[in-house]
A = this chain, B = another copy of it.
Amino acid sequence: MGSVFIAGDWGTSRLRLYLCDGAEVLDRKSGPGAVGAGLAHEAVLFELIAPWIAEHGPLTVLLCGMVGSRNGWVEAPYVACPADAAGLSAQLVRFEVQGCAIGVVPGLKAISPRQAPDVMRGEETQVIGALSVLPHLAKGRHLLAHPGTHTKWVQVEDGQIVTFQTAFTGEMFALLSTHGTLTNLAAGDAADLSDGFAEGLARHERSSASGLLHELFETRSRQLLDGWSPAHAVNFLSGLLIASDVAGALTQFDSAGGPITIVGDPSLSERYRLALARQGIASELLGGEACALAGLSALFQPQAESAPS
State whether the Cβ of A117 lies closer than 8 Å to any Cβ in chain B.
yes
B119, B208, B217, B245: which contacts A214 (Cβ < 8 A)?
B245
| Known contacts A209-B248, A213-B245, then 6 further A-B pairs from the complex at CB < 8 Å, ordered by chain A residue | A168-B213, A168-B214, A175-B176, A175-B179, A213-B241, A214-B249
- Contact residues in B for A102 (Cβ distance below 8 Å): none
Tell me how many residues of A have a C-beta within 8 Å of chain B.
51
21 intermolecular pairs with C-beta atoms under 8 Å apart: A109-B225, A116-B203, A116-B222, A117-B222, A118-B217, A118-B218, A119-B221, A119-B224, A151-B213, A165-B210, A165-B214, A165-B217, A166-B221, A167-B217, A179-B179, A209-B248, A210-B248, A211-B244, A211-B245, A212-B212, A214-B248
State whether the Cβ of A226 lies closer than 8 Å to any Cβ in chain B.
yes
**Which of A41-79 touch B at CB < 8 Å?**
70, 78
- In the bound complex, how far is the Cα of B213 from the Cα of A251, in angstroms? 13
Residues B175 and A116 in contact, CB atoms below 8 Å apart: no
B182, B208, B224, B245: which contacts A168 (Cβ < 8 A)?
B182
- Contact residues in B for A217 (Cβ distance below 8 Å): 116, 118, 150, 165-168
What residue in chain B is nearest A216 (Cβ atoms)?
Answer: B168
Shortest C-beta distance, A232 to chain B (Å), equals: 15
Binary contact readout A200-238 vs B (1 if CB under 8 angstroms, 0 otherwise): 000100011111111111100110111000000000000
Shortest C-beta distance, A245 to chain B (Å), equals: 5
**Which of A161-180 touch B at CB < 8 Å?**
165-169, 171-172, 174-176, 179-180
State whether the Cβ of A98 lies closer than 8 Å to any Cβ in chain B.
no
Residues A180 and B169 in contact, CB atoms below 8 Å apart: no
- Contact residues in B for A214 (Cβ distance below 8 Å): 165-168, 245, 248-249, 252
Shortest C-beta distance, A242 to chain B (Å), equals: 9
State whether the Cβ of A279 lies closer than 8 Å to any Cβ in chain B.
no
Residues A252 and B213 in contact, CB atoms below 8 Å apart: no
- In the bound complex, how far is the Cα of B184 from the Cα of A182, in angstroms? 23
- In the bound complex, how far is the Cα of B172 from the Cα of A176, in angstroms? 9
State whether the Cβ of A190 lies closer than 8 Å to any Cβ in chain B.
no
